[in-house]
Amino acid sequence: MDWLSPSDFLAIPFNDWVNAFVKGWLVPNFRPFFRAIQWPVVQVLDGLDYVLNAVPMLLFTAILTTVAWRAAGRGVGIFTLASLFFIDLIGLWSETMTTLAMVVTAVLFCVIIGVPLGVAAARSDLFEKIQRPILDVMQTIPSFVYLVPIVMLFGVGMVPGIIATIIFALPPIVRLTNLGIRSVRADLTEAATSFGATSWQALVEVQFPLAIRTIMAGLNQTLMLALSMAVIVALIGGGGLGLTVFTGLGRLDVGNATAGGVGIVLLAIILDRISQAVGERKAVHTTSLAATLKSFFAPATRSEAGANHERAAPKGL
Amino acid sequence: MTSKIICSSVSKIFGTEPEQALALLRQGLDKDKIHSETGQVVGVENVNFEVSDGEIFVVMGLSGSGKSTLVRMINGLIKPSSGRILIDDIDIASCSEEELLSLRRNKVSMVFQHFALFPHKTVAENVAFGLKIKGVQAAERRERAHAVLEQVGLANRADSYPEELSGGMQQRVGLARGLAADPEILLMDEPFGALDPLIRRDMQAELLELQRSLKKTIVFITHDLNEALILGNRIAIMRNGRFVQVGSAEEIVGSPANDYVAAFTADIDRSRVFRAKSIAVEPQAIEAGAQVDDAARRMEDLELDALYVTDGDKVAGILTYRSAIEACRCGTKIVREVASHRFPAASPDAYLNDLYPMARMGLPIALRDAHGRLTGVVPPQAVFDKLAGAA
Ligand SMILES: Nc1ncnc2c1ncn2[C@@H]1O[C@H](COP(=O)(O)OP(=O)(O)OP(=O)(O)O)[C@@H](O)[C@H]1O
Ligand SMILES: [Mg+2]
């Protein structure tokens, strides 16, 4: 005997509902709005892409190597130099620059959107409560799922790709901004207020500088997530290294796919090391990254961890 | 003297329905009962006091008695649930946000128990924080910060970071930060609570020393009665959100309002609390030019062993009954010729601690004011009685 299941009696046309919502309501009513949103992204991306592709390879390599060296030490500097040469030698320079432009654009918008959201969440418990499930969904929903509505709303190409990347990479910076500001010792904020600081002054003078290390950890995660979208974005018309991998995949051209993949990995390592190092430097007198991440996974003890950070931090620059 | 801070019927309820808890308070329910019935916490209950210009007002109480809540209401960090707090006639609870900011920037500043120094700013930047918030230019800020650091003896550490300093130094920075904007009122919430006893002593002395020249109005929170007695012009003892007693050190130790206060004062070193004038009696003196037999008769009448001899305004010496009798026998007539110039003397403000060795000489102790005038006499037995807690 067959077991009964509810679907024998009732079928919910969930997919139809979503279709009706997106196609019947969202797209026709909000298309101009979504098109307008694209505008700033287009400007930044075009500008960056133009600049990065116009700068001679050697000059760019020299600049990035210097930055890596100054920020993260000689090792990372040498690694950056070697990697960029390697990328150029395997013929992927311009793809790499395109991917870099995309990633930087996406991260820039993540910061512009995410930091204020994080600050707002830190200041209002209600806002945090509302925001948390939304961020959870953004982080867990497979990015393929929202590629379709994004294409419907924004069309195909680089910019929709970047918008998908922004959605995917936004949560860590919001969360860690929130966490960073919340774990600033309450008596320090109180001290600022007691000297007549407005809430903006307290944010700028005390909370933000003390939270910067945590925020930079969030930025680092956001950056990595954005890079990890490079290939997926190629599905909806994004260019760069992702496209190289994607076409390699389509043609079973393992050589090209691997070359693209290696390019992404090298870029990821360089950006990761530099952004981490910048975060550490910025926060010599605040919290350690390890402690921050630990407290991230143990929310109950985070204020305690926050209080202990200062002690553990290394001394002056 | 004018009142700088006036708190009248101030209460603070932590919770969502303060009105309900306030009503219960008026019905006479106590803090614990209200908490168990409504879940509201009574932080401060119906507190009244005034602090005069230049006074150190100490609030002493155990943990959880509501001291921090009280002091935070004075600069508006916490809003009172009922009652009024006036600072120079501005009502903190109802004034505008701008007035509150201006008050905090110019008139009232705070020193914190755990220093609350900004770890990302140097000592000088910490000290200048209030000035920066006010919009003072960088050069002037730096100058002022150095001047204040000089006052607390830390000018050479201006460019250190707080974590590089010891606890005592950190709190000096905290104090300097509080003083930088030259406020009229300093709120100090257990500022020495995190320091070890020796450094604490130093800081107390230093605060008194600074206060001598600065003449700020200070509200000082502590859970240490000894500290309260050393620093306070007036002291309030707080328990469960209420003031149990307000008074001078001598009043608190001399006549505790109830057993709770008495329990605190029991092991206080009374010799450092009471001053000579509190046990002085009306001086019985005789003019230097008087006759010795008159003096002897007077001592007999008053049942005294000795009389002070005055010459015009000044104390000239002491005449004991024995030397008076001897002098009569030898025929000396004038007091001046037999009076002894070796007599115990102290200022009316001296602590009994200083009088104790003198009292053991057995002679009455002369209290002389700054002009050398005799303002009172302390019978030696009174010193012992007071220290024993009898008087
Ligand atoms: N934000 C708050 N929410 C709820 N209850 C509070 C809050 N702040 C203080 N209380 C309660 O108010 C009472 C007084 O607290 P307060 O911090 O003023 O005490 P205190 O005398 O300063 O103690 P301590 O010496 O430990 O600093 C305590 O019972 C405390 O639990
Ligand atoms: Mg307290």
Annotated domain spans of chain B: 53-79+96-107+183-268, 276-387
B176 interfacial to chain A (CB closer than 8 Å): no
| 3-state secondary structure labels for all residues of chain B | CCEEEEEEEEEEEECCCHHHHHHHHHCCCCHHHHHHHHCCEEEEEEEEEEEECCCEEEEEECCCCCHHHHHHHHCCCCCCCEEEEEECCEECCCCCHHHHHHHHHHCEEEECCCCCCCCCCCHHHHHCHHHHHHCCCHHHHHHHHHHHHHHCCCHHHCCCCHHHCCHHHHHHHHHHHHHHCCCCEEEEECCCCCCCHHHHHHHHHHHHHHHHHHCCEEEEEECCHHHHHHHCCEEEEEECCEEEEEECHHHHHHCCCCHHHHHHHCCCCHHHCCEHHHHCECCCEEECCCEHHHHHHHHHHHCCCEEEEEECCEEEEEEEHHHHHHHHHHCCCEHHHHCECCCCEECCCCEHHHHHHHHCCCCCEEEECCCCEEEEEECHHHHHHHHHCCC
Q: Which residue does chain A place closest to B178, by CA atoms?
A: A195
Q: What pTM, to 2 d.p., does this model score?
A: 0.81
Give the residue from chain B lying closest to A185, CA to CA. B116
- Closest-CA residue of B relative to A202 is B133
Structural domains of chain A in order of their starting residue, each with its CATH number: 39-299 (1.10.3720.10)
Q: Would you say the ipTM is above 0.95? A: no
**Per-chain mean pLDDT for chain A:** 86
CATH hierarchy code of domain B276-387: 3.10.580.10
Please report the pLDDT score of residue B340 as a whole number: 85
B290-312 mean pLDDT: 86
Asked if pLDDT for residue A289 goes beyond 80, the answer is no
Select from A188, A190, A311 the Cβ nearest to the Cβ of B77: A190
Partners of A303 on chain B (C-beta within 8 Å) are: none
Confidence check: pLDDT of A285 > 70: no
Given CB atoms, is B126 within the 8 Å cutoff of chain A?
A: no
Residue B67 CA to ligand 2 centre (angstroms)? 6
Q: Is the CB of B76 under 6 A from ligand 1?
A: no
Average of per-residue pLDDT across A145-152 = 85
pLDDT digits (tens, 9 = 90+) for B340-352: 888 888 888 888 8
Distance from CA of B200 to the nearest CA of A (A): 21
pLDDT higher than threshold 80 for residue A72: yes
| CATH for B53-79+96-107+183-268 (3.40.1350.10, 3.30.930.10, 3.30.460.10, 3.40.50.300) | 3.40.50.300
Q: Give the Å distance between the CA of B68 and the centre of ligand 2.
A: 4
Contact A209 B120 (CB under 8 A): yes
For residue B78, list chain A residues with Cβ-Cβ distance below 8 A. none
pLDDT grade, residue A298 (50/70/90)? very low
Ion ligand 2 nearby residues (CB, 5 A): B 68
Q: Would the CB of B40 count as within 6 Å of ligand 1?
A: no
Tell me whether residues A195 and B112 touch, CB distance under 8 A.
Answer: no
Q: Tell me the sheet residues that pair with B376.
A: B367
Burial of A271 (0-12, 13-18, 19+ CB in 10 A): buried
Mutate to test the interface with A, among B109, B120, B159 (most CBs of A within 10 A): B120
Distance from CA of B104 to the nearest CA of A (A): 5
B78 Cα nearest atom in ligand 1: 1
Model confidence pLDDT, tens digit, residues B57-110: 999 999 999 999 999 999 999 999 999 999 998 999 889 999 999 999 999 999
